[in-house]
Structure formats: C-alpha cells, structure tokens
Amino acid sequence: MGRRLVERRLRDIGGRLRSLRASLAIADEQVAHLSEEADDMGLRALVSETPGADLEYREARRHADAMQRHRDSVREAIAELEARQDQLLEQLRL
C-alpha cells in the first residue's frame, strides 16, 4: 500500500476516533445520570410498593442498561480503530 494512501487512511481513522471519543464522553455522562436515576427510582419503588413505581423503575433500568450497551459498543469501535491505526502506523515504519 502506498505511503500517501496509508497517511490518508490514518487521517480518516484519526477523525473517526475523535468523534467516537466525544461520543464516549457523552455516553459516560449519560450512563452515570441514567444509572443514578434508576437507582433512585428503585428506592422509591421499594418504599412505595406500588405497581406504578415498580414499572417506572424497570423502565429507567432498561434505559440505563441500553445506554451502557451503547457505551460498550462505542468502546469496542474505538479499540478496533486503534488496532487498525497501529497496523497502518506499522506499515509506515516499514
């Protein structure tokens, strides 16, 4: 693969990594907020012992879990891009 092509791919990967890292920071904040909210609703559900409160808790927990899965997928994408970036950098060194 030509040096110019490798450099272009590295720039593309760098841009995608910046974007994904920004998304990860947002997802981290959202996970923290949604998890805290779900925990609060869980306590309310225990105290009130009403079906409505339990339903709200389960819904909040589902949202928090979904955001955690999203955050994990962003982390995986970052790891894959970093591995690809390492491969391309190795090609430049050769």
**Structure tokens of 92?**
């430049």
Q: Which domain holds residue 71?
A: 3-93
Question: How confident is the model at residue 42, as a pLDDT?
Answer: 93
Question: How confident is the model at residue 1, as a pLDDT?
Answer: 72
**Structure tokens of 83?**
């591995």
Phi/psi for 49 (5° steps) reads 55, 40
Based on the structure, what is the number of domains in the chain? 1
Report residue 59's pLDDT band, with 50, 70 and 90 as the boundaries: very high
Q: Which of 89, 39, 90 is nearest to 63 (CA)?
A: 39
Give 7-43 pLDDT, tens digit per residue. Answer: 999 999 999 999 999 999 999 999 999 999 999 999 9
